Chain A
Amino acid sequence: MSRPGEERTTAAVRPYVITRGRAGSSRDALPLETLVMASGSALPPHLQPEYRRIAGFCQGLLSVAEVAAHLGQPPAVVQVLLADLIGWGHIVARPPIRVVKRKRADLDLLRKVLDGLESKL
């Protein structure tokens, strides 16, 4: 919630080292509602299967939460592996639209959500 740019760009995602079985600090974790998709860039031949599996799965847009649920992997692991793939350019991310300080600028978003929900009735 703190660092400038964290909410809107992926530049702030720190390059994780290879972290199988290790969750990073939860503060830096890729939010579960981040949308991710394979960039289409060729994966290097030496890339570990865990990474390949995720990249192969992300042929369309999906949230981090969905990737974790479908692969049956703990989100803490998937968050770290996805952050690596983003850092290497194999995955592109659409960062979540978050409301942090609740200001007027959020009204547009909230009205869109309201309109969207009303159209489901």
Chain B
Amino acid sequence: MAGTDGTIRTDHHTAHPGHTAHPGHADRTTRTDHTNETGETDETGDTDDMDDMDDTPVMYVESSVAGAAKILVVGPMGVGKTTLIGTVSEIKPLSTEATMSQAGARLDTKVRPSKTTTTVALDFGRITLGGELVLYLFGTPGQQRFLPAWKDLARGALGALALVDTRDLEASFDAIGHLEDLDVPFSVAVNAFPDSTPHNEDDLRSALDLLPHTPLVICDAREHKSSVQALISLVSHLIETLTEAS
């Protein structure tokens, strides 16, 4: 589960004590797998483990919320996906897994997943907006071998925030290319690390082969305001594209 990187924000849990509960306490055990999203595949067909309860207190969504929308946060391992999600989320980021849809598609409905079913860690967080809408942020690694898992995840998404580390631009190519292939609108957020050398925007744009209208912002995933602004750049872009299209 996410959280070993110090991004947990526990203040939210005390903010809404009425929404907190510990259901299923009886057989709850500490989770030992599904740990940090490390980008590792989990080659297992074992879907039966009933004693794998997460330790995080449950904070239910406000009952006034009518439905949820989602945004993907994508990029290579270590680029700051979990950090950004934790920074903006009202719940401690949770981790689950996505099953590669290729594996799913190969299955006859009568057949159990085989030992080669591949899953990919999926971190997510949640933001309640205006009491009637909740936004989920799903973070998934961008390496080529995980891309099939995106297909289901991307379906219906508002868009995606593609995180980039300038120390290794190439590591982001797969993720950005795949967003284009899936026709998911996105904006790019460059996370600055202490040893990143400064790049000018034009160089970055041409290195990443971005279309002129694709927003590119600099972001510190550890900073709330900066991370929210990266999301705002994405949603503003989505609105502009729609307004221009008509």
Which A positions have Cβ atoms within 8 angstroms of B? 1, 7, 20-27, 29, 31-35, 37, 50, 53, 56-57, 59-63, 65-66, 68-77, 94-100, 102-104, 106-107, 109-121
Contact = CB atoms under 8 A, between A and B. Distances in A.
Contacts of A56: 23-24
A48 B115 CA distance: 25
A3 B106 CA distance: 21
B15 interface: no
Interface of B: 1, 19, 21, 23-24, 31, 34, 47-54, 56, 58, 60-63, 65-70, 88, 91, 94-99, 101, 104-105, 107, 109-113, 117, 119, 122, 124, 126-127, 129-130, 132-136, 138, 151-153, 155-159, 185, 224-225, 228-229, 231-232, 235-236, 238-239, 241-243, 245-246
Nearest to A28: B109
B101 to A, nearest CB: 4
Contacts of A33: 68-70, 136, 156
Judged by DSSP, the binding face of B is mixed
Contacts of A75: 96-99
Nearest to A96: B68
A98 B184 CA distance: 12
